[in-house]
Chains A and B, each alone.
Chain A
Amino acid sequence: MSGGSDPGSGPDSEASSGGDAQSDPPSDADPASADDPLTRVRESDVSLIVGGFLALYLGYVLVGIVAGLSPRGIFATVTQLTLLIAIYAMLTLSLNLHWGYTGLFNIGIVGFMAVGGYTFLMLTMQVAEPGVRSAGGLGLPFVVGLAGAVVAAAVLGFVVGLPSLRLRADYLAITTIAMAEIVRYFYQSNAFQQVELFGMSLGTGGGSGLVGDSTTPFDRYVYEAGWSEGLVDFLDETFRISGTLGPPIETLFDAIVLLVVVAGFYWLLKRTGGSPFGRVLKAIREDEDVANALGKDTGRFKMKSFMLGCALMGLAGALYVYFQLGNTVNPTVFRPRLTFFVWVALILGGAGSNTGSVLGAALFVGILFRGPLYVKNAVENIVAFPDSPATVAGALGGLLSLDPVPFLAFLFDNMGSLRIILLGVVLIVLMKRRPQGLLGHRKETAAAVPLVPTETTATGGLTPGSEGPEATDGGEPGGGGERP
Chain B
Amino acid sequence: MSSADAAVEKGAEEEPTLELGVETADLAAVPLRVDGLEKQFGGITAVDGATFEVERGTITGLIGPNGAGKSTTFNLITGFHRPDAGAVYFDGDDVTEDSPHTLARKGLVRTFQIARELSEMTVMENMMLAPKGQSGEQLWRSVLPWTRGGVRAQESENLERTWRTLEFFELDHLWNEYAGNLSGGQRKLLEMARVLMTDPQVVLLDEPLAGVNPSLEKRLLEHLHELTDLGYTFLIVEHDMDVIMQHCEHVIVMHQGRVLAEGTPADIRDNEEVIDAYLGDDL
Contact = CB atoms under 8 A, between A and B. Distances in A.
B125 A464 contact: no
Contact of B125 (A6, A272, A304, A445): A445
Categorize the interface residue count of chain B. Answer: 35 or more
A21 B122 CA distance: 12
A445 B120 CA distance: 10
A464 B163 contact: yes
A464 B143 contact: no
A453 B175 contact: yes
Contacts of B100: 289, 292-293
Which residue among B17, B78, B100, B178 has the maximum number of chain A CB atoms within 10 Å of its CB?
B100
A460 B112 contact: no
A20 interface: yes
B40 interface: no
Given A272-B139, A463-B156, A3 B189 contact: yes
B105 interface: yes
B3 A292 contact: no
Contacts of A449: 152, 155-156, 159
B3 to A, nearest CB: 5
B152 A448 contact: yes
Interface in A13-48: 13-14, 17-18, 20-21, 24-26
A189 interface: no
A17 B136 CA distance: 27
Contacts of A196: none
Contacts of B135: 276
A329 B239 CA distance: 65
Contact of B143 (A1, A7, A24, A268): A268
A301 B3 CA distance: 42
A283 B121 contact: yes
A465 B216 contact: no
A457 interface: yes
Contacts of B205: none
A478 B176 contact: yes
B160 interface: yes
B128 to A, nearest CB: 6
B230 interface: no
A4 interface: yes
Contacts of B160: 457, 462-464
A298 interface: yes
Given A276-B134, A294-B130, A447-B128, A20 B173 contact: yes
- Among B125, B139, B178, B195, max chain A CB count under 10 A is at B139
Interface in B3-45: 3, 6-7, 10, 14, 17
Interface core residue of A4, A292, A465, A478 (most chain B CB under 10 Å): A4
B125 A276 contact: no
B266 interface: no
Interface string A266-288: 00100110011111101101110
B156 A464 contact: yes
A278 B119 CA distance: 16
A434 B111 CA distance: 33
A24 B181 contact: yes
A238 interface: no
* 8 tightest A-B CB contacts, nearest first: A275-B142, A276-B136, A295-B104, A4-B170, A25-B181, A20-B173, A286-B118, A451-B124
Interface of A: 1-7, 10-11, 13-14, 17-18, 20-21, 24-26, 268, 271-272, 275-280, 282-283, 285-287, 289-298, 301, 304, 308, 352, 442, 445-449, 451, 453, 457, 460, 462-466, 469, 478, 482, 484
Interface of B: 3, 6-7, 10, 14, 17, 78, 80, 99-101, 104-105, 109-112, 116, 118-122, 124-125, 128-130, 132, 134-139, 142-143, 148, 151-152, 155-156, 159-160, 163-164, 167, 170-178, 181-183, 185-186, 189, 194-195, 198, 213, 216
Given A276-B136, A279-B121, A297-B101, 6 more contacts: A4-B3, A21-B173, A277-B139, A291-B129, A293-B101, A451-B159
